[in-house]
Amino acid sequence: MKTLGGILVQKGPFEEIVIGNTAIVRAMIEGGVKVVTSYPGSPTPEIAEAINSIPKEVRPFYFEFSVNEKVALEVAFGAALNGNTSCVFFKSVGMNVVADSFVQLSMMRIPGGMIIVVGDDPGANSSQNEQDNRHYMRMSYTPVFEPCNAQEIYDMFLEALRISRTFESAIVIRLTTHTAHFKQKVRFGEYIPNSTSMSIFDPKKRGPYIPLGEAVFMMKRRALENLQKYSEISENHVKLIAKGNQRGIITAGLPFATILDVLGERVDYVDILKLGMIHPLPRKAVVQFLKSHKEVKIVEELDDFLEEKIKAIAYDEGLETKIIGKLSIDEWIGEYLPDKVEEVLFDTWPDLVEKPEVPKMSIKTVKRVPQLCPGCGHRAAFYVISKVLSERDISVADIGCHTLGYLPPYEVGQVLLCMGHSNGTASGLSLFNSERKVIALIGDSTFFHAGLPGIINAVYNDHKYVLIVMENYTTAMTGHQDHAGSKIKIKSVLEAFGIKNIYEVDTYNYERFEQVLREAIAAQGFSVIIARHPCMLKFTRERRVKGFAKVRQVRVTEKCNLAMSCISIFGCPSFQRIEGNRVLVQKELCIGDGSCLAVCPKGALAYEEGDQR
């Protein structure tokens, strides 16, 4: 049986059942991409997993996890300037990180061609918001393809590559959570290995590349002229389902697939115009569709991006078609899965679809609170932090697994913006604040990603708060990717900044951690605690691979007085309250790490007899 990596590099053509994130890697290979960069983030990590499944000796391109999304984009840009076709991919909020550089790309000639894959997240499945990145594309004059399934992801990537090389410009492929993970049999083409590499960066021939003075307007004119040409290309990327109905739907991406699913045989009662390139819009196709229908509903996830432009086109053309956009706030929120689309269509045309039924639940369900994994070092840290801080004190969260510290029972981390914000926000909270302690949290991957400027600022301006760097030696939240901390020691960086108050502690050492935290709070000026413990999910998986299958088990002894500290204060999901107000250790969850043993005030937790600590 062939491995995923073996499948992806076979000569082809062939068919294979894959998800969209995997299909895009085959498109990179067939398309002759030479450089691929990324910073991990859902819904795109499986792209990297597919790449890493290909042994380096047969992988036809260079791949790196960069220190953050902005650097990843710039590495890809630099490679493409030198004639090497490149691709960069990242998640929705990564777009904010790349913005400074991204908005300049449309003004540059990029000889090798460059594809930017953005994984938007309607439903906020793995993000702190639902931001609609299509607005960035309009602002920066950048064309966008929006596929609806795995086959289209593959096809559109190859088409975007062709356009990108022709126009020497950057092109965006916008995925969403469900298209990235859309699974189907995909028809792949032939892969012909090409070892040739070009080195053709010639700023005098293809420039200017410095947007200063009059050059800015020349470069902007090029971007706008290209946008007009892309508009003609977009006319070739539409799909029309027409039966001569008076009512029509204009849509794109995942909502198109969902509409077909919801309508079923009733699709014959409404015409559909499906857009492949959503910026710039295929104006001619849109005008023709509007002219031939009395009512047209715009079905799109998140913001009214298509709606605004289509209404503007209709106004310019003097059309009397009734254009129905978003009818309620609910249409701005969440993924357009079948139940949501059914509601949207019913609210628009009650005679087209039946009123959605609200399922009657025979069993009372309880919302499941997100949990840190059993044995997580962050839980141990939160246990100590919550003991030291009072209710009046302030703790600032950051992005990572440790963001879950905000939830009960720890309630550590009271405000969150984005990756790396905790240092700047904590600095502001420390001003004119002599009575309330302020601590900030940051993960080791985020430390390198976006944390350094805020730390430098705290040192430079002598802000007084305590930064706790939660070091677990991996980018855990998105799938255990490597980061710069494997080569660059955090303490060395902090020392180079001139920070005097630096403490190091294993989070499992509760007594020492509490002592260190109190010392750091009492110290003058800015203090940093490097709170270490390996990601136990990664650690236990690696042990199983090496053959260490047996884990020690924790048990509740007869000393238990039902204080419930293991549940209400420590909060490891291995402990469960059962009938009779008793505590049970779920053996399927317990990893036997022993981090819980010291939290019981009665010492009622111990290893099973025969297990050794």
Question: What's this model's pTM, rounded to 2 decimal places?
Answer: 0.89
User: 353 in a domain, yes or no?
Assistant: no
User: 397 in a domain, yes or no?
Assistant: yes
Q: 23 and 101: one domain? A: yes
Position 565 pLDDT exceeds 90: no
In whole angstroms, give the CA distance from residue 583 to residue 134: 50
Q: 458 and 418: one domain? A: yes
Percent above pLDDT 70 for the chain: 97
Position 159 pLDDT exceeds 60: yes
Out of 107-116, 157-166, 444-453, 592-601, least confident range: 592-601
Q: 449 and 589: one domain? A: no
353 — pLDDT class (breaks 50, 70, 90):
confident
**Mean pLDDT computed over every residue of the chain:** 92
Q: Rg of the chain over CA atoms, in angstroms?
A: 27
Q: 189 and 94: one domain? A: yes
* pLDDT tens profile 48-68: 999 999 999 999 999 999 999
User: 360 in a domain, yes or no?
Assistant: no
In the chain, how many domains are there? 4
Q: 423 and 501: one domain? A: yes
Percent above pLDDT 90 for the chain: 72
The mean per-residue pLDDT over the stretch 117-138 comes to 93
In whole angstroms, give the CA distance from residue 480 to residue 536: 11
Question: Higher confidence at residue 367 or residue 531?
Answer: 531
The mean per-residue pLDDT over the stretch 36-44 comes to 94
* pLDDT tens profile 374-428: 889 999 999 999 999 999 999 999 999 989 988 888 899 999 999 999 999 999 9
Position 613 pLDDT exceeds 50: no
Position 611 pLDDT exceeds 60: no
* pLDDT tens profile 202-238: 888 888 899 998 899 999 999 999 999 999 999 999 9
Out of 151-165, 184-198, 257-271, least confident range: 184-198
Question: Higher confidence at residue 127 or residue 54?
Answer: 54
Out of 31-35, 358-362, 432-436, 509-513, least confident range: 358-362
CATH of the domain at 588: 3.30.70.20
User: 510 in a domain, yes or no?
Assistant: yes
In whole angstroms, give the CA distance from residue 500 to residue 522: 14
The domain of 443 spans: 377-540
Decide which of 329, 348, 367 is a domain's last residue. Answer: 348
Q: 36 and 181: one domain? A: yes
Residue 419 structure tokens: 């990756």
pLDDT of 481 = 83
Decide which of 513, 540, 567 is a domain's last residue. Answer: 540
* pLDDT tens profile 245-283: 999 999 999 999 999 999 998 999 999 999 999 999 999
In whole angstroms, give the CA distance from residue 122 to residue 408: 26
Q: 174 and 25: one domain? A: yes
Q: 398 and 444: one domain? A: yes
User: 242 in a domain, yes or no?
Assistant: yes
pLDDT of 173 = 98
Tokens 């270490």, located at residue = 532
CATH of the domain at 468: 3.40.50.970
Q: 55 and 111: one domain? A: yes
Q: 230 and 242: one domain? A: no
Nearest to 35, CA basis, from 78, 67, 70: 78
User: 358 in a domain, yes or no?
Assistant: no
The mean per-residue pLDDT over the stretch 135-153 comes to 97
Q: 77 and 47: one domain? A: yes
User: 580 in a domain, yes or no?
Assistant: yes
* pLDDT tens profile 343-352: 999 999 999 9
The mean per-residue pLDDT over the stretch 491-520 comes to 95
Q: 329 and 214: one domain? A: no
198 — pLDDT class (breaks 50, 70, 90):
low
Helix H or strand E segment including 382: helix 377-388
Measure the N-to-C terminal CA separation of the chain; round to a whole number of Å: 42
Other Cβ atoms within 10 Å of 392 Cβ, number: 8
User: 361 in a domain, yes or no?
Assistant: no
* pLDDT tens profile 299-318: 999 999 999 999 999 999 99
Decide which of 207, 234, 261 is a domain's last residue. Answer: 234
